[in-house]
């Protein structure tokens, strides 16, 4: 049979464990709230940079018509290096009408209606 002292000791240990767990949970919750408050706190949208930015960027300014600027651009040849059509399995004929997704998009987006082959309905 247990005595009063043992019952009291068990009660104190239980209360201490509950208090420790509650304190830990409270501290964890407080830390989470503090972190969220720091993340959600409003900040200045226009922060001042550490080093001042000069008013004009260095470099030459050239003024010319857009046509001349476009003609000055060089056009590179198309490169299909690394392209494999088999990687694009999403071009499927989901609705079973004879046209894969790519063909259906080309037909739908065409400025002039294209003639359809025998596979496209």
pLDDT in tens, 19-28: 777 788 888 8
**How far is the C-alpha of 82 from the C-alpha of 61, rounded, in Å?**
38
- The pTM assigned to this predicted structure is 0.28
Residue 60 phi, psi dihedral angles, 5° rounding: -85, 145
Mean pLDDT of the chain, nearest integer: 77
Task: List, as one string, the DSSP characters of 6-34.
Answer: HHHHHHHHHHHHHHHHHHHHHHHHHHHHH
**How far is the C-alpha of 22 from the C-alpha of 69, rounded, in Å?**
71
Residue whose entry in the numeric block shows the structure tokens 């002039």: 112
């Amino acid at each position: 049979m247990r005595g009063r002292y043992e019952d009291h000791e068990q009660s104190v240990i239980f209360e201490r464990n509950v208090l420790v767990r509650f304190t830990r949970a409270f501290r964890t919750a407080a830390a989470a709230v503090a972190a969220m408050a720091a993340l959600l706190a409003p900040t200045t949208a226009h922060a001042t940079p550490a080093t001042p930015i000069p008013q004009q960027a260095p470099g030459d300014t050239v003024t010319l018509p857009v046509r001349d600027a476009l003609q000055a651009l060089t056009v590179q040849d198309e490169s299909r290096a690394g392209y494999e059509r088999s990687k694009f399995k999403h071009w499927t004929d989901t609705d079973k009408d004879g046209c894969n997704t790519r063909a259906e998009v080309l037909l739908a987006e065409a400025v002039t209606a294209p003639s359809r082959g025998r596979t496209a309905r």
